[in-house]
Amino acid sequence: NFFSLFIWLTLPFTYGGGDALHVSFLNISLDGIRMAALITLKSNGILFCFLALLATSTTVNLGHALEKLGVPRKLSFLLLFSYRQLFVIHQEYQRLQRAAKLRGFTPKNSMHTYKTYSHLFGMTLVKSWNRAERVHQAMILRGFNGRLIPLSRPQPGRADYYFLFVMLLISLILAGLSFVSFSV
């Protein structure tokens, strides 16, 4: 929606068509407002569909899907491990922050607070570096050779084919409606 904000800040003022409103030196176009609304609705619709599909997948399945789509193996590993480690690092940061509060730390606008937060950040980086080294060593010890080996290969079921059929039908209907003009 940050992108949509820029669309709304520029398109009504720069898009041609009939003017809807005149404010001293600004001309706001009604067609520009319609186009901004259309772009916002479409981009949000695409985003929500994408999020709905991703929310039901595991990270391992996403990694396999990225490989099958032709994303370089190193990039898919980087995305998978980064995703996992972000949560681990966040938990480590929260643990260190909780330890500081248990020791009586209360944030203020002082040099002591800035030093404490810089030490907290530094400890988080050091601990995440050490964890990454341990994960790397564990992967080597377990025979990791640079390939993700799936534990199971999911097969599409009847519900998957029904979902595919309904989505294709809806897409065809919407595509057909885009060629039909409705007059009001």
Per-residue burial over 124-145, b = 16 or more CB atoms within 10 Å of its CB, e = otherwise: beebbeeeeeeeeeeeeeeeee
Within 10 A of 39 (CB to CB), how many other CB atoms are there? 15
50 and 83 belong to one structural domain: no
Phi first, then psi: give them for residue 105, nearest 5 degrees: -75, 125
pLDDT at position 85 is: 83
Kindly state whether residue 22 falls inside one of the protein's structural domains.
Answer: yes
Q: In the chain, which residues have pLDDT < 50?
A: none
Among the listed residues 17, 43, 14, 40, the one whose alpha carbon sits nearest the alpha carbon of residue 30? 17
The answer to whether residue 65 is domain-embedded is: no
Residue 176 lies in a domain: no
**Which residue matches tokens 């990791």?**
144
Query: Is there a single domain that holds both residue 87 and residue 116?
Result: yes
For residues 97 and 137, membership in a common domain is answered with: yes
Could you give the number of structural domains in the chain? Answer: 2
133 occurs within a structural domain: yes
Name the residue range of residue 25's domain.
Answer: 1-56
Residue 169 in domain: no
Report pLDDT for 19: 66
Shared domain check, 42 and 4: yes
The answer to whether residues 47 and 9 belong to one domain is yes
Residue 173 lies in a domain: no
In contact, 67 and 75? CB cutoff 8 Å: no
Q: Assess whether 52 and 98 both reside in one domain.
A: no
DSSP 8-state assignment for residue 23: E
3 state DSSP class of 148: coil
Residues 90 and 48 in one domain: no
pLDDT digits (tens, 9 = 90+) for 27-44: 788 888 888 888 898 898
**In terms of domains, do 105 and 135 share one?**
yes
pLDDT value at position 177?
79
- Pair of tokens at residue 84: 């996992």
CA dist., res. 26 & res. 169, Å (int) = 44
Report the alpha-carbon distance of residue 162 to residue 111 in Å, rounded. 62
